[in-house]
Chain A
Amino acid sequence: MSTFRNAQEQAHPNKNSTLTLAIIVVQLLLVSIQIWLLYSGLNNALEHNKGIAIPALVASFILFLVCCSLLYFLPGRGAGKKYNRRS
């Protein structure tokens, strides 16, 4: 069996932390874009430009799916612990 994962965990014990932080930063970015889409859609709808509202909704929904799919890459709760343990 490959020992690649073990070696990686031992060489970079903070990798899980970095990965979690990166995922949160990307999610924050996605939510910021969604806020902008909501603001634009609302302002244009109030100005009787209905055409913006539906593309904004579709884009917002796609960003939501991306946001949720990023949860898959969150390191597991016990990830890295067994390799970092000093015995």
Chain B
Amino acid sequence: MATDQEQMMPDWQRDFPYRQDQARLVTRREFSRMLCLISAAMVTGSAYVVAKAYWPRTGVPAGRYRVCGKDELPAGGTRSFQLPGSSVPYILLHLEDGTFKAYEQKCTHLSCAVFYKTGTGKIECPCHNGWFDAATGEVIQGPPPRPLPALQVVEEGNDVFVMGPGTKAG
């Protein structure tokens, strides 16, 4: 319990006491031990990443899903959609060169919604001025560390389909 004399001490003197035995804050020894705990936390985090990477993914939509008809989406237009059984938002783009692309509508930086900037061929994340190439999903500029996850688009007749992310290649 703090004595009356300690109560009377100004804050600065309590933070930087003259005498070692008055130092009641974290000592360097304790700080060193705490660094070891943080180090252990980093190992745990890395182990979690390994577990998540190698654990079989379940509940990921697979197969082919119709998004819309070609004539429903003019060149430069976009359409948001979700796959059945998944809450991940996706965006279908009809680029000005006539091709269709589908990407996850979450920025790889902090998961803000991204939007296609018509006529520029770029996808914008307005939160932190991140930009992606609409043709490839690659990062052009800004803080996003990874490209936008893409879905394979299949055009058949007048319909546009996407392949679910759980679809096995080949």
Decide yes or no: A68 and B36 within 8 Å by CB, A43-B145, A60-B42 being known contacts: yes
Tell me which residues from 41 to 97 in chain B have a Cβ below 8 Å from any Cβ of chain A: 42-43, 45-47, 49-50, 52-54
Q: Is the CB of A21 within 8 A of B28?
A: yes
Contact check, A27 vs B146: say whether CB atoms are below 8 A apart: no
Which residue in A23, A54, A68 is a CB contact (below 8 Å) of B39?
A68
- Minimum CB–CB distance for A8 against chain B, Å: 21
Q: Given the complex, which residues of A lie within 8 Å of B28, measured CB to CB?
A: 20-21, 24
Secondary structure at chain A's binding surface: helix, strand, loop or mixed?
Answer: helix
Total count of chain A residues near the partner, CB < 8 A: 33
- Pair B35/A54 contact, Cβ less than 8 Å: no
Chain B residue nearest to A20 (CB atoms) is B28
A24 to B32, alpha carbons, bound, how many Å?
A: 6
Chain A residues near B35: list those with CB within 8 A: 24, 27-28, 31, 67
Chain A proximity of B64: nearest CB distance (Å): 21
- Residues of B10-55 contacting chain A, CB below 8 A: 28-29, 31-33, 35-36, 38-40, 42-43, 45-47, 49-50, 52-54
Bound Cα distance from A67 to B38, whole angstroms: 10
Complex CA gap A41/B45 in Å reads 10
Q: How far is the CA of A33 from the CA of B49 in the complex (A)?
A: 16
Decide: A45 and B49 in contact? CB cutoff 8 A. yes
Contact A38 B42, beta carbon cutoff 8 Å:
yes
CB atoms of A71 and B45 under 8 A apart: no
Which A-chain residue is minimally distant from B146 (CB atoms)? A47
Asked if A50 contacts B54 (CB within 8 A), the reply is yes
Which residue from B32, B36, B46, B53 sits with its C-beta under 8 Å from A60? B46
A64 adjacent to B43 (CB under 8 Å) = yes
**Once the chains bind, are A30 and B32 in contact (CB under 8 Å)?**
no
The reply to whether B50 and A57 contact each other, CB–CB distance below 8 Å, is yes
The residues of B that contact A74 with a CB separation of less than 8 Å are: 29, 32
A24 to chain B, nearest CB (A): 5
B46 touching A57, Cβ below 8 Å: yes
Residues of A contacting B42 in the complex (Cβ-Cβ under 8 angstroms): 31, 34-35, 37-38, 60, 63-64
Residues of B within 8 A of A (CB): 28-29, 31-33, 35-36, 38-40, 42-43, 45-47, 49-50, 52-54, 108, 145-147
